[in-house]
Amino acid sequence: MSKTGATQVHLFSGWRGHEREPVIGDVYNRGNVSIHFNHAEKLYPDWPTPTCIISDGPYGVSGFPGDNHKAESLAEWYEPHIKAWSQYATPETTLWFWGTEVGWATVHPLLISNAWEYRCCNIWDKGLGHVAGNANTQTLRKFPVVTEVCVHYVKAAVFKVGNQSLTMQDWLRHEWQRTGLPFRLANEACGVLNAATRKYLTADHLWYYPPVDAFVRLAKYANEHGDPAGKPYFSINGKSSISGCQWAKLRAKFTCDVGITNVWREPQVSGSERIQGIRSGMKYKFSSLHGSQKPLKFIDLTIRASTGKGDVVWEPFGGLCPGAVVSHYLNRTYRAAEIIPEFYSAAVERLAMS
């Protein structure tokens, strides 16, 4: 369990305790961590380039104010956001897309058509406690649902060759072929028996991203031994080859501790981590403020996996902004948006107290 996962979050009553209700344009900053009271789509152009985007927006289950009523309308709702994420992301950016299974399935084709590359579907298994034996399966006519998904995408690098757009795998082959050298010499370039042609220059699904040292060796060899007329090889700007540092930035970061899988077993947020409050104008008793509050543990896991110190995290649909608490502890730059006053104010108070 990480430091943030163990954080004690104070219970408080939401926006009632604040001097005034927030107005659109308000922003709360704690160091490099900022929570905006605004529509995320208005803020993207001014936010720093994201290393990681945590999307936990509408689910299509009427789960919180403003949630869509049906999953079918989700793709249309998400479209402007996904287009903006694609515009501002780089090949270093990871997207964590939270949703229900069917909600995600509905939006997935849109993500793919906007150049997000699918990596993995992580499943939050909330366990039997989530239904607490209350599910009447004879009425529901299905097995009780105790899961949500957090789907992992990356913004794959695209290489322009003439008017063609190539994937990294195709571009590496294309560049080597341009040299006029046989593929087997890539092994000599990398100082390996056959791994370079088998892994880095293959056209099949067993392709691997060449690590920085392998890429640098391939580029150096190609430029020294390839057809002089085609130089420079492995270049984006047509003037020099991509350096090792530049190559490292052409894919998203990822680190994972041993023992973690794509099934995340954790009960619904409860106890001192669950933010309590009373919704304005409603006669609710003091209870859970936000219906879809995410465990800090998962936000911590995804931010650690996909970013390093100083990197930028976006949480466009902030809710209670768990990413703000985690980013504060992990020294990430963070930007969030939220449009419901109670949620914004509670998120601000949560960050201020963390």
Ligand X SMILES: C[S@@+](CC[C@H](N)C(=O)[O-])C[C@H]1O[C@@H](n2cnc3c(N)ncnc32)[C@H](O)[C@@H]1O
Stretch binding ligand X (CB under 6 A), from 171-179, 224-232, 253-261, 335-343: 335-343
- Would you count residue 80 as binding ligand X (CB under 6 A)? no
Residue nearest to ligand X (CB): 319
- Would you count residue 93 as binding ligand X (CB under 6 A)? no
Stretch binding ligand X (CB under 6 A), from 16-24, 108-116, 127-135, 316-324: 316-324
- Would you count residue 273 as binding ligand X (CB under 6 A)? no
As a whole number of angstroms, the distance between CA 209 and CA 42 comes to 36
State the amino acid at position 117 in one-letter form: E
- Would you count residue 297 as binding ligand X (CB under 6 A)? no
How far, in whole angstroms, is CA 117 from its chain's centroid? 11
- Would you count residue 338 as binding ligand X (CB under 6 A)? yes
- Asked if residue 275 lies in contact with residue 288, where contact means CB atoms within 8 angstroms, the answer is yes
- Would you count residue 290 as binding ligand X (CB under 6 A)? yes
Answer for which of 17, 48, 66, 191 binds ligand X (CB under 6 A) is 66
Answer for which of 337, 341, 345, 348 binds ligand X (CB under 6 A) is 337
Q: How far is the CB of 71 from ligand X (least distance, A)?
A: 14
Q: At 353, which helix (H) or strand (E)?
A: helix 341-353
As a whole number of angstroms, the distance between CA 222 and CA 296 comes to 47
Q: Specify the 3-state DSSP secondary structure of 238.
A: coil
Q: How far is the CB of 294 from ligand X (least distance, A)?
A: 4
Give whole-number Cα distances, 144 to 40, 127, 129, 131, 140, in Å.
33, 10, 11, 7, 8
Minimum CB distance to ligand X smaller for 63 or for 91: 63
Residue 204 makes CB contacts below 8 A (sequence gap 6+) with none
- Would you count residue 277 as binding ligand X (CB under 6 A)? no
3-state SS string for 239-303: CCECCHHHHHCCCCCCCCCCCCCCEEECCCCCHHHCCEECCCCCCCCCEECCCCCCCHHHHHHHH
- Would you count residue 339 as binding ligand X (CB under 6 A)? yes
As a whole number of angstroms, the distance between CA 283 and CA 315 comes to 30
Restricting to residues 22-41, which ones interact with ligand X according to CB under 6 A? 39-41
Q: How far is the CB of 35 from ligand X (least distance, A)?
A: 10
Stretch binding ligand X (CB under 6 A), from 168-176, 215-223, 241-249, 312-320: 312-320
How many residues of this chain bind ligand X (CB under 6 A)? 21
Minimum CB distance to ligand X smaller for 22 or for 316: 316
How far, in whole angstroms, is CA 208 from its chain's centroid? 22
- Would you count residue 96 as binding ligand X (CB under 6 A)? no
- Count CA within 13 A, CB hemisphere, residue 351: 29
List of residues contacting ligand X (CB under 6 A)? 39-41, 56-57, 64, 66, 290, 292-294, 316-317, 319-320, 322, 337-340, 343
